[in-house]
Structure formats: structure tokens, C-alpha cells
Amino acid sequence: MTMSRTEDRAMEQAELAAIIERAKADKEEAERKLKEQQLMQQEEEEAEKRRRKRKEEERKVRKEKKRSRDKDRDKDKDKEKREKRKEKASSSGGGGGSKDAEKEALKEKKLLKLISPVVVKSMSKYASTIGHERFKKHAKELTEKIAEREKKSSAYRDNKLDSLSAEKTLKIKKYAKEYIDKLVKRLEAQGKHASRMNNGNGKRGTSDLNANTNTNTDSPGSRMSSSINSPSTSSSTAVGTITPTSVVLRVDMADVTLLDDDVDDMVDMDTDSSSESDDGSDLDGREEGDQRKDGLHIVDWDRDRDKDGDASMASRDEEKDDRNHPHRHRSHANGNGVSLEPDAVMGDGQG
């Protein structure tokens, strides 16, 4: 009995010791796990701190960059404002020059409006004779030439030239009429010269042309040849050598002087009505067919001869050249854009 109790007690103590050992082991395991968990949590917290710190640094960098960009943008804005102020100051300071140029342009336009109707009406008698395009060209050139001379007057400089005086209008009319008369006669002479050159080449004789005039009056070439070779042809008939067909053109002064749309209120000149200003004699009492020896520039315009580009000088040089070289065929265009080819003469007349 005694042995059995002792054995039982020893077994109980052994079991108790085993339980205690297991409890200690469990406790140690729990403590180890707790430490590991705490370590992991600590690491996570440190990582979070590092992440927050990095974000804060990035935010500071972005903020600094934004501040720098804003500063640069403000500098650019200030610079742009300063440049605008400078431009505004310079434009306001130089505005007087632009206004003066605008006033001068208006004065010139007003002057051309005064001169162009007189020139066009004086030259319109031969508008259908020399051709519309050539008429526009010469009327425009003559208007601008007279305007350049008129700009030298004190009335123009003082902006007091509201209208042309009667004396000035007469001068312009006389100048324009003598100019167009000389031009038409030169074109007529060039047409005769071209015809002689063709006849010299053996194409057709003068007698044949005169004979064809009586037999075939419907041919434009025969009408032109008869007008050229007939010694009794008057000035108005000889002019017909340039235009085989009679064409009545309406002269639009806005088209001639190129003065914008506000010239449309001027009188639209018709070549049929030009006779009311042309009474068959020039303003100084000479007949229309008479010409002074000095060519186009007959009028002493403001006592100043325009020597450069003078049409009369070019005409005299061409006539002298014709006398010195009668058999030379000149097919090039002269200074007034008039070709000496027969076809070109007819073509210009039809235009």
C-alpha cells in the first residue's frame, strides 16, 4: 500500500512538472510571437514614417518648383507689360507721322479727283480710236504727271486747293488735247510705216491696195490700207488706220485714275458726247490738226519743262531714227507701249 502511494505521488509530481514545463514553453512562445509582432509593427511604423517624410519632401520640392515657376511667370508678365508700355509710348509718340502721311494721301487723292475729269473729258474724243486700255494708260499717266506739278503750288501745300481755277482748267484741257493729238498722229505714222514695210516685202503694192478699196470695201484690211495710202485722207480718217472697226467706248474715270470707288460719282464720259467740249479748235485758236514743233509738251506748265520721260523727245528720236534707217523694221515696243507690228497696231485699236 505504502509503495503504491509513493508511486502515485511521484507520478503526480512528474505530470505536474510536465504541465509546468509546457506552460513555460507556451509562455515563451507567446512572448516570442508578441515580440515579433511588435517588431513588425515597429518596422511598419518606421516605413510609414519614411514614406510620409518622402512625401513631405516631394511636396516641398513641388511647392518650390511652383514658386519658381510663378516667379518666372511674374517676371515675364512684368517684362511684357513694360514692353507694351514702351510700344504704346512709341506709338503715341510717332502717331503724328502716320497722321501726316494719312493727311497727305487724302490731299493727293483730292487733287487727282479734281484733275482726272478734265483730262479724261479732253482726251475722250480719241478713246475709241487708240483703244480703251491704251487710253486708260495715257490718261492715268497724264493725270499723275499734272498732279505732281500741281503739288508744288502753295495752295496745295496749304491744303486750300478745293477747286481748279478757270485758267488752270484751260491749261489742263489744252495740255491734254495736244498730248492726245500728238499721240494719235504718231500712231498713224507708225501704222503707215508698218504698211510700207509690208509693201516693200512684196506682199501687196500700193496700187493693188487702192484697187481693192474700191472692189472689196467689207474687208477690214482693205479699209485700213485705203486709209493709209490715200493722200487726201483727213486727220480723223487717218486715225481709222488704227481701228478697222468703229467702236464707241464709255470712259470710266474710276478705271482710269484708280481712285477707289468714290470716283463713281464723276461723270461717265461717252466718246459721242465729247464734241460738246471740242468745238473744232484748240484753246489758243489753232485748228485741231495743227501741232507745235516741240511735240506733246506745248503748254509751259508752271514754267517747268519735264525733261525726263518726255513723250515728245521720244517721238522726235523715233522719227529721226526712221529718217536715218528707212528700211529697218522695228518690231519692238516704243516707250508708250505701242508696237510697230501691223497686227499689234490693229490689236490695240480693237481693244
DSSP states of 166-232 as a string?
HHHHHHHHHHHHHHHHHHHHHHHHHHHHHHHHHHHTTS--HHHHHHHHHH-TT-HHHHHHHHHH-TT
Q: What was the pLDDT predicted at 332?
A: 40
Residue 333, SS3 per DSSP: strand
- pLDDT of 79: 87
- The pLDDT tens digits along the chain (351 residues) read 566 788 888 888 888 999 999 999 999 999 999 999 999 999 999 999 999 999 999 999 999 999 999 888 888 888 888 888 888 877 765 555 567 788 888 888 888 888 889 998 888 888 888 888 888 888 889 899 898 888 888 878 777 778 888 888 899 989 888 988 898 888 888 888 888 787 766 554 444 444 444 444 444 333 333 333 333 333 333 333 444 333 333 444 434 444 333 333 333 433 333 434 444 333 333 333 343 333 333 344 444 444 444 444 445 555 555 555 554 444 343 444 333 333 333 333 333
- Exposure class string for 266-293: b at 16+ Cβ within 10 A, else e: beebebeebeeeeeeebbeeeebeebee
User: How many whole angstroms separate alpha carbon 332 and alpha carbon 340?
Assistant: 7
Q: How far apart are alpha carbons 257 and 237 in whole angstroms?
A: 29
Quote the pLDDT of residue 61.
93
- pLDDT computed for residue 93 by the predictor: 56
Amino acid at 305: R
Helix (H) or strand (E) holding 315: helix 311-324
Nearest Cα neighbor of 123 from 80, 182, 167 is: 182
Is the entire prediction scored with pTM above 0.85?
no
The DSSP output letter for 165 is -
CA–CA gap between residue 248 and residue 100 (Å, rounded)? 43
Give the span between the Cα atoms of 348 and 338, in whole angstroms. 8
**Contact criterion met (CB below 8 Å) for 306 and 151:** no
